[in-house]
Amino acid sequence: MTTKSLIAANWKMNKSVKEAVSFIEDFKNYVKDVEIVICPSFTLLNKLNESIKNTNIKLGAQNMHFEEKGAFTGEISGLMLKDVGCEYVILGHSERRQYFNETDELINKKIKAALKNKLKPILCIGENLQQRNNNQTMGIIKKQIIGDLNNVSDREIKNIIVAYEPIWAIGTGKNATPEQAEEVHKFIRELLSKKYNGNAAKNTRIIYGGSMKPENAKELLSMPDIDGGLVGGASLDAKSFAKICSVRI
Ligand code: PEP
């Protein structure tokens, strides 16, 4: 891996404007020199875009529609996310797949739309517990990579971050062991190296998500193919997220 590691916070449906601004005030004093992405609710983006000025924190959204504008009540477009300072967008999170029936085909459309709007997708993939127990993990990962990255070019893949998020580890407090995570990350990199030319696979960041916390971040981030983290629960508290971001390998 040649590029800098990246730690992203997925705040999900949490925090008021006041709570979010106070988080940034606390957090920015703790952490320097790491690429950090905060993905808050849509309602917080505009305000946080001001709060993160002159910090090393970047802004990301948790979802978007694939159209740029029009009659799609309740939806937010990539164009709108750019307008409020987003550089990243989480796509294909397992909660979107599970509760909102997002398919690989839909996620692929969103990925293409995000890239068109110069947003970097954080593409989430991963298996559930039953699939892991049935030895289907690699098959699921392959299916998601093929479907979600359909028609994504050699040039475009550099702007995508792949997040391996085993569903059984999300919000459960039970993270994948570093060895379990590394096995899948390595497999993802191999898939990318078959699909893309040159250094694309080497340079694509593959980050891990699923109960990452201060106590396990170092051992996970030390693995050769783990290039950062996507953090849910432990990113809601400034001190705990700062501890994860401060891990040095
Ligand atoms: C997530 O939902 O992306 C996530 C990684 O959550 P948690 O850290 O809470 O498991």
Reduce the DSSP state of residue 39 to 3 states and report it. strand
Cα separation, 72 vs 103, whole angstroms: 18
Specify the residue with its C-alpha closest to ligand 1, atom 6: 232
Q: Determine the residue of 62, 124, 125, 165 to mutate for testing ligand 1's pocket, defined as the one with the most ligand atoms within 8 A of the Cβ atom.
A: 165
- Asked whether 189 and 206 are in contact (CB, 8 A), the reply is yes
Is the Cβ atom of 10 under 6 angstroms away from ligand 1?
A: yes
Name the token pair of 132. 């892991």
Which of the two residues, 28 and 188, has the higher pLDDT score? Answer: 188
- How many Cα atoms are found within 13 Å in the side-chain-facing hemisphere of 33? 3
Residue 51 CA to ligand 1 centre (angstroms): 24
Please say if the pLDDT value at position 1 is more than 50: no
| 32 pLDDT higher than 90 | no
Buried/exposed code over 179-218 (b: 16+ C-beta within 10 A; e: otherwise): ebbbebbebbbebbeeebeeebbeebbbbbbbbbbbebbe
pLDDT at position 4, please?
A: 62
Q: Which atom of ligand 1 is nearest to the CA of 229?
A: 5
Name every residue whose Cβ is closer than 8 Å to that of residue 87 and which is 6 or more positions away in sequence: 37, 58, 59, 60, 119, 120
Distance 79 CA to ligand 1 centre (A): 26
Render 125-162 in DSSP notation, one character per residue.
E---HHHHHTT-HHHHHHHHHHHHTTT--HHHHTT-EE
For the stretch 163-179, pLDDT in tens is 999 999 999 999 999 99
Prediction pTM value:
0.97
By percentage, how much of the chain surpasses pLDDT 90?
92
pLDDT at residue 50, rounded to an integer: 98
Structural domains in the chain, CATH included, are 6-245 (3.20.20.70)
Which pLDDT score is estimated for 3?
Answer: 52
Residues carrying an active site annotation = 93, 165
* Residue 2, pLDDT above cutoff 50: no
